[in-house]
Structure 1
Amino acid sequence: MSEEIENQEADAGDDWAAAMAEQADSEAVAKEDAEVPAAEFDSLEDTSGGPAGEEANLDVILDIPVTISMEIGRTKLSIRNLLQLNQGSVVELDRLAGEPMDVLVNGTLVAHGEVVVVNEKFGIRLTDVISPAERVKKLK
């Protein structure tokens, strides 16, 4: 009986050794497959011939569309109060009457202005344009 157990253990040990060898072989193949050649990149140096500080040609971006919006004010409401709004409701904003509106381009403040009516359509007259330096300061 003990001889049978020893034979079974020997067979189990052989099976175990075979499984371990098979796993080692598959890991070696996976390692070889996983090796990726080094990436090669083109040079990022300025090859245009002009000085590096020269102003970029803006013609390439002049036709890109942007969204301009005018904001007369903001407020915060709870969802309960929002759901209670109906026709004729008044929502108080954080601005005073007559205060200039914000002019936003793609969500970034670029100017302040006042509402005007031109040919029965609303427009805005810019009263103060934010300088690029001031816009950069606000990003920080």
Structure 2
Amino acid sequence: MTDNENFDIDLRFLADVNLNITVEIGKITKLFKYIYNLKEGDIIDLKKPTESLVDIYLNKEPFAQGEIVVINEKYGVRIISLAG
């Protein structure tokens, strides 16, 4: 069998399984004194260009990369590539 071979598997039994999806738009490390002094309206600079892809995790495991989209004034993520 090859990795590309299609399998005819019925996965309906998984339909009600909850999975955690996390989208990471950036990551920084700061000293406690910086975090302690944050207040409403402050901006945290993630040092990541706005056009960069975001990382998508499924149950804390890398799943895909995507781009942030806005649909009807709500944020979403368009999947660009799957991890693998």
> What range is the shorter-chain TM-score in?
0.7 to 0.9
Match of 1:126 in 2: 79
- Unmatched segments (≥5 aa) in structure 2: 1-7
Given residue 48 of structure 2, which amino acid in structure 1 is its aligned partner? R
Match of 1:88 in 2: 41
Higher RCO (CA-CA < 8 Å; seq separation 6+)? 2
TM-score by length of structure 2 reads: 0.76
Q: What SS does the aligned partner of 2:34 have?
A: helix
Percent pairwise identity: 27
Greater share of residues in strand: 2
Match of 1:102 in 2: 55
Greater share of residues in helix: 1
TM-score by length of structure 1 reads: 0.49
Rounded to whole Å, the distance in 1 between the matches of 2:74 and 2:50 is 20
Alpha-carbon deviations, 1:54-90, whole Å to 9, x = none?
x976444332101112110011111111101112222
Given residue 73 of structure 1, which amino acid in structure 2 is its aligned partner? G
Q: What SS does the aligned partner of 1:114 have?
A: strand
- Unmatched segments (≥5 aa) in structure 1: 1-54, 132-140
The structure with the larger Rg is 1
